[in-house]
Amino acid sequence: MKHGRIIALDYGDVRIGIAMTDELQTIASPIETYKRKNNIEDDLNYLENFIKKNDVVKIVIGMPYNMDGSESDRAIKTKNFGEKLKEKCNLEISYIDERLTSVEAEEILIQSGMKRQQRKENIDKIAASLILENYLNRKTY
């Protein structure tokens, strides 16, 4: 196993939730909700700098499949973004099913007593951390 951090992205049209592991790749933590720019190159540059600054060795991206498991339009957009990010950063990318992670993230934030506006600002990074936890839990050692 290559040491360094793994990040997970919850990719959306408006925001990208970012979560990251510790160096030993055991704990997933929500890091930030990045507000996307009008130009995809700006988003890719931001993530490239984030990846370099944090010694990231792998990227996990949540894949928004339809409930029947088929690819949604959103999944196709997500995969296209992932391919561009892979080209830019030259890192391995894994896609993991993210169905219901936003619902689960919302429930966690409601239970914590967070107000609606705060939930909106935090839901994407919480969803990213759930995606990363799911990835870490399915890894075999």
Distance between CA atoms of residues 76 and 82, nearest Å: 10
Query: What 3-state DSSP class applies to 54?
Result: coil
**CATH value of 5-138 in 3.30.420.140, 3.30.70.600, 4.10.80.400, 3.40.50.2020:** 3.30.420.140
pTM above 0.85, yes or no: yes
| Distance of alpha carbon 111 from alpha carbon 41, whole angstroms | 37
Sheet containing 15-21, strands listed edge to edge, beginning at the edge strand earlier in sequence = 28-35, 15-21, 5-11, 56-63, 92-97
- Residue 141, classed as helix, strand or coil, is coil
DSSP string, 65-119: B-TTSPBPHHHHHHHHHHHHHHHHH--EEEEEE-TTHHHHHHHHHHHTT--HHHH
C-beta separation of 33 from 16 below 8 A: yes
Q: Tokens 């993210």 map to which residue?
A: 98
Residue in the block written with tokens 């995606």: 131
Residue by residue, pLDDT tens for the chain (141 residues) are: 578 999 999 999 999 999 999 999 999 999 999 999 989 999 999 999 999 999 999 999 999 887 887 888 989 999 999 999 999 999 999 999 887 677 777 788 778 887 888 777 888 998 999 999 999 998 654
Q: What is the residue type of 41?
A: E
